[in-house]
Structure 1
């Protein structure tokens, strides 16, 4: 039994070494979410632009106009590290603060838009809980 356990350990180590040589992460590396993992984007609950809070509608207008923006961090690249949004190359998504009335800080509300041209976004998402969930924005409604 000890020989079998020892052999399995070595086989596992060799497999991981071989996989890492071809660029596949080993069992000890950070695991990737499964392709079918649930997304934090709820496409069934897309929100019409007219349904967003007035502050979010204003930020959306500013995005299309190229500014001006209220906060220095508006327009920075959104890294999508949690992979909550569809995978795109780094630099595709940019984030913007949606002011929260009465808040002394930037608050939790954001619009994240993606596209090759910032002022002509291919897609935009709204989050009111600081990236915990996203709703696609339907600009036609």
Structure 2
């Protein structure tokens, strides 16, 4: 690579680094971009480390989309699941769900009509496989959860 190419690449990284620094400062100080809440404000609103999970919302199976009800039935039956990643361990890194040891939660895809990929809808269940008495529904790819209650 030429010296000019290296300088151009370094300049690009510097510009991106400066943008990342601005976004981080804007988020931490609460300065919203385009009038919205700061980046950190959203993160802290989701879940502050060490606090309770804050899952107050519940949903009954009858209120779920039909695809979610079908996914719950598949979970109870032990599969077969339509997506290879269904049944994998959900890490709960955002601490949105009650704290448990790693491997306690498993995630399952809720198909989204007309989506080209897995979409954003998921069901996360805690405890042994095939149990659906401790499941949570997310329609926004883990940004929020509702506890599924009978």
Mapped partners of 1:110, 1:122: distance in 2: 16
Q: Figure out how many residues of one structure are paired with residues of the other and give that number.
A: 103
Report SS of the residue matched to 1:136: strand
**Aligned twin of 2:35:** none
Higher helix share: 2
Gaps of 5+ in 2: 1-47
Mapped partners of 1:137, 1:121: distance in 2: 9
**Aligned twin of 1:33:** 49
> Relative contact order (alpha carbons < 8 A, sep ≥ 6): 1 or 2 greater?
1
User: Could you say what the CA RMSD is over the residues aligned between the two structures, in angstroms?
Assistant: 1.4
Query: By how many angstroms is 1:35 displaced?
Result: 3.0
| CA offsets 1:2-33 (integer angstroms, 9 cap, x no match) | xxxxxxxxxxxxxxxxxxxxxxxxxxxxxx82
Query: By how many angstroms is 1:99 displaced?
Result: 0.4
Mapped partners of 2:137, 2:54: distance in 1: 11
Mapped partners of 1:52, 1:124: distance in 2: 12
| CA offsets 1:76-128 (integer angstroms, 9 cap, x no match) | 0000011110000110000000000000000000000001x211244000000
Report SS of the residue matched to 1:113: strand
Q: Is the 8 A contact 1:78 1:112 kept in 2?
A: yes
TM-score of the aligned structures, taking structure 1 as reference length: 0.69
User: Which aligned segments of 4 or more residues in structure 1 are displaced greater than 4 angstroms?
Assistant: none
TM-score of the aligned structures, taking structure 2 as reference length: 0.65
